[in-house]
Structures are given as C-alpha cells and as structure tokens.
Structure 1
Amino acid sequence: MFFLLGLTLFTFIIFLTSYLLDSRKLINGLLFNIFLFSAIITSIYAAFSTQNRFLIIIALIFIFFLLLIPIFGIHALIVGLFINTKILINREGKRFSNLLTLFIAIGLILFLIGSFILSTNLFSQEINIFLSSFIIISLYYFFDVFNFLMISFLYQFNHPKLNQDFIIVLGSGLIGDKVPPLLASRINRAIEFYNKQSIVTTPPKIIFSGGQGNDEKISESLAMQKYAVEKGIPFEDTILEDKSTTTFENMTYSKNIMDNLSNKYNSIFTTNNFHLFRAALYAKMAGLKSQGIGSKTALYFLPNALIREYIAIVVMHKKRHIIIISLILIFNLMLALIQHYFITPYL
C-alpha cells in the first residue's frame, strides 16, 4: 500500500514539476495519464484492502465501466462519430474539413475488421505477424490521441494574472467583411479579460492578428478591430497586425510589434478552446512566453475541430511519428522473417 501511495505521489510530482516549468509540452499529457493510472490502481487497492463497503462498491462500478470500454467503447464511438458528422454537415455544410469525424469512424471500422481477420488466422503466421504491426500502430495512435486530449483539457485551466500589457487575438477567417461567430467568440474573450483588468489596473493593448484572405474584402485584423470598437473597446487600445496568414505568423508578427513597443512586457493570446494548446505550441516556437485563454465552442463542432488539431500536431512532430512507425514495421518484419526461416521449417 505504501509503495503504491509513494508511486502515485512520485508520478504526480513529476507531472506537476513538468507542467509548472512549461505547460506547453505534449509530454505533460503522458505524465498526467501515468499519474492518473497510478492513482486509479492505488484507489482500487485501497478499497479492497480496507474492506470499506462503500469504497468497494465505487471501485466495482468503476471496474465494470472500465471493462465495458474495450468491449463496447469503440462501437459507441463509431456511432457517435457518424451522428456528429450528420449534425456538422447539416449546420456547417458538406466540406472536406467537416468530414474528419466520418473518416475516423471509417478508420475505426477498418481497425475492427482487421482485428477480426487476424484473429481468424486466415493468412499464414508470417503474414499475420507483419499485419499485426498495423494494429500496433493503431493502438499507438489511440494512446497518443488520449495523451493529446488530456493535455488539451488541462491547458484550458489557465488563469493569467491581470497584469498583461498585450492581448493577441488570433484571426480565423471572415465572411466577406463580417466577423463570424467563431471569430467573434475569440474577440469577446479578449474583451472580457480587458474589462476585468481595466477595473484593477491599466488596461492592456489588444493586438488583432490576421491578414486578408483571397475571399475576404478586408483584413481579419481590421474587421476584428471594428467589432471590438463597436463593443466599447477604445480605438487607441487596439493594434493591427495585418500580414499573418498562419497561427505561427500570428505569433511571430505580433511578437515583433510588442518587441518594438516595449523591452519588457506580459502578454496572453485568445483563441477557441479547441485551438488553445496548438496555438501555445506556436507561441513557444515564436519565442513568446504568452499563455492562452480559450473561448467556448459549440459542442457539435468540437470533435471535428479536435481531430483537425491533432492532425496538425502530428504534422508538427512528423519526424517522431515516422521513426516510431518505421521501428514498429521493421520489428514486425524481422519477426515475420524469423518465423518464416527459423521456426516454420521445423514445425
């Protein structure tokens, strides 16, 4: 019991230290999940070792639902993804970017089919060994997605101090020259923080960051500025950054503006909650110490948006993923060759 308690405390300290040193690290999701797993094992062991009926009942209920996940969880997820795709298309239109949940659902179905085929021994042992590498790769991504979702969730709990010099509002596209609801929520979040800080100290400057797209009549920054001024933000407290076309450029160009205005400053950025952690990674890449605060997003939009965010982060760390996938394929290929040349002939 003391060993498990010590292990749980140790894993929590490791996570907390890493998170406090820099909350903008993907590994924090893994470290928290290790702590969470350790805490669950410790709690279950404590329930049965103390013979406390209430704790045992809670533990049994938890174990029951935990066992249901591998049996029915993936099926429920597939159904949920199909339903979400239908809702998203009805509300946002039939665009490729709105079909990600559909593609994931199809991928999960293929995973189930592949697992079933491997279990039937339809192919030779060597081929089964090699094909199992794709199951292992799928499990690797299940695990990686879980770590991503956890750190994305944890990063939502940022509470920046009311001592900011600048607030960066990240652009997300216009409809003509109008601010759509998704972008409006980012501006409103900045306005909310601006008003809170104005009560206790000097209000920050708001940097509206976003260039002009091919289908936009004006720059995103100008449209955002107009929206904010109409909401009561003084014009003199607004700054335009109208050259950026990506989140990384948002951060880089905004940093250049702040560096030119002040040698030492505090800053934060606002974006939608699903985009918060990836934006923080780009801020880190741009050399900004800025942490983010997120605006709420409609629930039906979240699954598709989170999938898009995860894909973007995979691309950011493509070298790591290529190395891991290559190692899995090479290892299983070697096992298949060993099976073919050194084991099967002697059976």
Structure 2
Amino acid sequence: MFVYAAAFFFVIFCLSVLYDPRRFGNAVLLGITVVLLAIYAIAKTEDSPAMLEAIVIGACVLLLLGSFTLAFFLIANGVKMLRKEGRRLGNLLSLLTGLATLGFIALLGAAVLGKSDIVVRLAGAAIPVVGYVSFLFLCFLGYAFLYGRLPVRRNVDFVVVLGSGLVGGSRVPRLLANRLDRGRAVYEAQAARGNPPVLLTSGGQGPDEDLPEADAMARYLVERGFPEERVQRENRSRTTDENLRFSKSIMEELKPDYRCVVVTNNFHVFRAAITARKAGVRGQVVGAPTAAYFWPSATIREFIAVFLRHKAVNLGITLVLGLLGVSADL
C-alpha cells in the first residue's frame, strides 16, 4: 500500500517539476514520497518484532543525539556569525534556533519525568507543531539542494545578477562578487555556444550607499575585462521581488520572448526561484558560493521567508495542530 502511494506521489512530483521546477509544492511532494517510503520500509519489518524494536530504538537514539549535535552546532555557528557579521536579527537565527532546539528537548524531558499537567499539555502542543515545521524545513532543504544543481541547458538572452548591498557605500563585497563571478561564468558558457547574452546587474541605491548597486556591480565587471557593451543596469530595486519585476520589464522591452538565468547566492536560489515564478520571470535561478559559516543562518532566514509567503495556510495548520496536541489525551 505505502509503496504504491509513494510511487504515485513520486510521479506527481516528476510531472510537477517538468511543468515548473520553481514551485514549493515540488518540495512537499518529494518529502511526502520519502516519508511514505520510510513507512513502507518500517512496515516490512512487522514480521520481525525484534528488528522493528531495534529500528525504533535506533531511530530515537539517533534523533536525540542528532538534535543535541545540531543544537550545539547552531549555537556555535550563531556565536561565529555575531563575531563576523555583527548583531543583527538575521545573524541571530542559527543561535536562536539552537537554543530553541535545546528548549524543546528540555520540555520533552520535563513532560516525561515530571507530573505537571501544564507541562504535558505544552509538550503535546509543541510536538506536532515542531514536527510540521521540521518536515517543511527538510522538504525545503532537500529540494533546494536538488534545484540548485539543475544545469543551464537552454540558450538564454539575459543573465540577471541580483544585488546584495555594498561595503563602505561603494565597494562590492565578497558575497556579491561571488554572484558577479558566477554570472560572468554563465555568460561565457553561453557566449561559447555562439549566443552571448546581455548581463543585467540589478540593485538600487540604499540609504547608506553612494551609488546604485547596479552601477557598482557593472563597474566591478568592466574593471575585470568584461565587455561594457554587454552590460545593462536595473538601478531602482530594493528587494528581491523588485529586482525581478524591474529586470523583467527591461528584458521584455529589449526582447519580448526572452529567456534568462538569474544569479544569486546558493542559499537564496530556491526562494529567488519561487519569487521569479510569482513575478512571471521566464528563467532559471542558479547559485554562487557562500562562506560556510554564513550558510546556516541564511538558510534558516530563507525558509522563514518561504514559510511566511504562505502564512495563512502554514500558521493555520500550526494553530490546529497545537490545539489538537493540547486537547489530546497524553
């Protein structure tokens, strides 16, 4: 039964990816497929109670040890983020997630060992909510990994590089330089096919910047030998959504039936792809390297943004799960 259900969801997943790989629903379909396969594998051991018991105990031990390991890793990473990047909310996310993980483990321990009905009810509410959010996060993580490795197969007319802020008001930081270098690599691969695209730098001027990001990005490329006549600038945007919408307008004006590749950092690829789909941008998103210490907090931030993009559904589900957990007989 479970294997047929898994096969069904996998077929739907494949068809959905072929139709548009930029949908978050693809991540959920893949997650459901994996869960059904896991249930099927466990169900196959029903004729061997000892093996089933060993699997359950082993899974619980791995889950507990993995949760502790993950929590301490996130806390250590959060401390490193604060030292290197400063005390901003976005830089606190891995630290806060690690502390929240330890708090959840402590709540479960108190519910098991204690006799407080309030603690038991709180644990009952937390378990399904944490389970739901964790499932979505793993879906997001797994599919983002797969999407970020899709090759650029089609010829494209534009390579759009998204801005990410300047240092000292005018200089391109390493994070943005990685995007520009990846954008140039995509351009050169296309040019080698005999179809040199236009490279579109996208980013407006922030309140602490001396010039639009798009101009600083174009200057970075030209100073390193990139042909200036192949560069266009989109210099009004302040957000990823505006990056894509304003760039779309420029591309449609220059070539109505355009195809493009959008370049950002690897942690941002899947959310940018979802945003590009919503904006009606015809193209794929690819990623540039990011410093390892920066990745955990950035990935958590990306997931939160995607989760809140569908906040009515997700917050509604978490509320229902929490209420069911509180009212359940534990």
Tell whether the structures are fold-level matches, with TM greater than 0.5.
yes
Displacement of 1:131 in angstroms is 5.0
Displacement of 1:205 in angstroms is 0.4
Matching of residue 284 in structure 1 with residue 277 in structure 2: yes
Aligned to 1:56: none
Aligned to 1:207: 200
Q: 2: CA distance between counterparts of 1:332 and 1:39?
A: 26
Cα pair 1:162 1:197 within 8 Å, conserved: no
Query: Aligned pair count?
Result: 324
Q: 1: CA distance between counterparts of 2:127 and 2:29?
A: 24
- Equivalent of 2:33, from 12, 35, 48? 35
Aligned to 1:21: 19
Structure 1 vs Structure 2: percent identity of aligned residues? Answer: 34
Q: 1: CA distance between counterparts of 2:325 and 2:165?
A: 45
Q: How do residues 1-347 of structure 1 correspond to structure 2 at under 5 angstroms?
A: 6-39=4-37, 66-124=59-117, 128-129=120-121, 132-175=124-167, 176-332=169-325, 335=327
Aligned to 1:342: none
Displacement of 1:227 in angstroms is 0.8
Which stretch has the larger CA shift, 283-292 or 168-177? 283-292
SS of alignment partner, residue 190 of structure 1: helix
Displacement of 1:209 in angstroms is 0.6
CA deviation profile, 1:70-95 (whole Å, cap 9, x unmatched): 22111011111122123323333343
Q: Structure 1 stretches of 5 or more lacking a match?
A: 50-60, 340-347
SS of alignment partner, residue 99 of structure 1: helix
1:172–1:73 Cα change, 3 Å: same
Q: Report the structure number with the largest CA radius of gyration.
A: 1
Displacement of 1:28 in angstroms is 1.4
CA deviation profile, 1:281-329 (whole Å, cap 9, x unmatched): 1111111122101101111111011011111112211111221122224
Aligned to 2:51: none
Displacement of 1:258 in angstroms is 0.9
1:106–1:262 Cα change, 3 Å: same
SS of alignment partner, residue 171 of structure 2: coil
Cα pair 2:75 2:99 within 8 Å, conserved: no
Which stretch has the larger CA shift, 86-95 or 102-111? 86-95
Q: Which amino acid aligns with 2:288?
A: S
Q: 1: CA distance between counterparts of 2:109 and 2:44?
A: 37
Q: Which amino acid aligns with 1:154?
A: L
Displacement of 1:231 in angstroms is 2.3
1:45–1:141 Cα change, 3 Å: closer
Q: Which amino acid aligns with 1:167?
A: V
Q: Structure 2 stretches of 5 or more lacking a match?
A: 48-53
Q: Which amino acid aligns with 1:76?
A: T
Q: How does the TM-score come out when normalised to structure 1?
A: 0.85
Q: Which amino acid aligns with 1:295?
A: A
CA RMSD in angstroms, aligned pairs only = 2.8
Q: 2: CA distance between counterparts of 1:198 and 1:256?
A: 23
